[in-house]
Amino acid sequence: MSEEMINVYQTWINSLASTNTINKYTSSVTLFSNMVFKKKPTEISEFDLVHLRYSDVLNKFVTPLKENDIKGSTIKGHLIAVRSLMKMIKKEGIYDKANIDDLNNYVLTNKTLKTNDVKHHEAISLEELDQFKDFLTKRKYRDDQDGMMGKKYAELVDFMFKTGIRVTATFSIKWIDFQFIVAHDGTRFARLDVIDKGHKLNTKYLTLSYYQDLHNLLFTGSDEEFVFGELSHESLKNAFRDFSKKINHNLSPHSLRAGAATTLYYQTKDIMLVKDFLDHESVANTEKYIHNQTDPTMTGTAMLTADYDYSEIDNLSKEQLLMLIHSRPEIENVVYRAGKDHKVLK
């Protein structure tokens, strides 16, 4: 390990603007160094940089990340961080034989990567979600000794939709990550703390009944085990691919997150709630996940130009009211929350 490289790396860290930038950039550089050089960033040598080729970056770094559904914008962010370190190496002048300018301009770049690719993840609808879970339940699996593998994959998909946790983070969750709490009204929750994108702590609150169903289906004997340890990311991706072909709608694991955000927004119209659900720092990012409402009756102009006579509601029978309430999830949600607020529901 070069003492000079250690000093350059520390100088580079000290030059970064904020703690958040330091965390993001060091994480990106560490990932790149491990995947391309099989070593730590402080162990990168002059020989490594002199012999680094575009094919190395493409085949060892960019392509594997893309195959794991990592967005083009995220990969570009990783490469920006690596180029930042390269500039510091040049500034400190420790590796004279390495042409840092050529590396940054021609090797550590990929202009074919898309930076606005959130929209390329189609949102899954509630109807498609139910269809997909049924598809997973009936699908054939290897090593399905208890005949429950399909149900477990369906539970995985349901969990990802209802928590908004990304697929990589989902597969890293252990039972020990859950803690039980009691809310101010006495409701019990299973609190889940998970490290998600950008090494941020993401906290989710699952109802106790939902957690118990999850536990009954997937627990295999140890709190130290992964919740979805019997399942695989690759099998999930393959299932999405096959289901997408079946319904002619391009879906991926990220579609669960986009679909949940869209559903939650149209049920609550609360953009800040959706922002927190997605664990976004910016509302602008959240808005990219919410897909347009295709029902013309739900558009702003239609609502504002309509001449509603709300007194007609008074003439509806109980059966008619119940039918209307249960006809749409967002109405059920509003009525239920109003009932809790007015203490007419327990």
Query: Mean pLDDT, to the nearest integer, of 337-344?
Result: 84
Residue 119 pLDDT greater than 50, yes or no: no
pTM of the model: 0.60
CA distances from 143 to 140, 149, 224, 229, 232 (A): 10, 9, 22, 14, 12
The model's pLDDT over 73-115, given as tens digits with 9 standing for 90+, comes to: 888 889 999 999 999 999 999 999 999 999 988 899 876 565 4
54: tokens are 């575009």
The whole-number pLDDT of residue 296 equals: 60
The whole-number pLDDT of residue 113 equals: 61
275-306 in b/e burial notation, b at 16+ Cβ within 10 A? bebbbbeeeeebebbbbeeeeeeeeeeeeeee
The whole-number pLDDT of residue 196 equals: 79
- Looking at per-residue pLDDT, the higher value among 308 and 204 belongs to 204
Average model confidence (pLDDT) for the chain?
Answer: 87
What whole-number distance in Å separates Cα of residue 157 and Cα of residue 260? 11
The whole-number pLDDT of residue 198 equals: 65
Provide the H-helix boundaries in 38-171: 46-50, 54-57, 63-67, 72-92, 100-102, 126-138, 149-163, 167-170
The whole-number pLDDT of residue 195 equals: 84
How is the beta sheet containing 178-182 ordered, strand by strand?
A: 178-182, 188-196, 200-207
The whole-number pLDDT of residue 344 equals: 87
71: tokens are 């967005």
- 225 φ/ψ angles, rounded to the nearest 5 degrees: -85, 155
Catalogue all structural domains in the chain, each as residue range(s) with its CATH number: 3-115 (no CATH), 120-289 (1.10.443.10), 307-341 (no CATH)
Query: Mean pLDDT, to the nearest integer, of 60-68?
Result: 87
The whole-number pLDDT of residue 111 equals: 67
Direct distance between the N- and C-terminal alpha carbons of the chain, in angstroms, rounded to an integer: 65
CA distances from 67 to 6, 59, 60, 237, 286 (A): 32, 11, 11, 10, 24
- Give the number of residues written for the chain: 346
The whole-number pLDDT of residue 80 equals: 93
Beta bridge partners of 200: 196
Residue 27 pLDDT greater than 50, yes or no: yes
Indicate the pLDDT class of residue 120, thresholds 50, 70 and 90.
very low
The whole-number pLDDT of residue 73 equals: 82
Amino acid identity for residue 223 in this structure:
D
Q: Indicate the burial class of 183 (C-beta count within 10 angstroms; 0-12, 13-18, 19 or more).
A: exposed
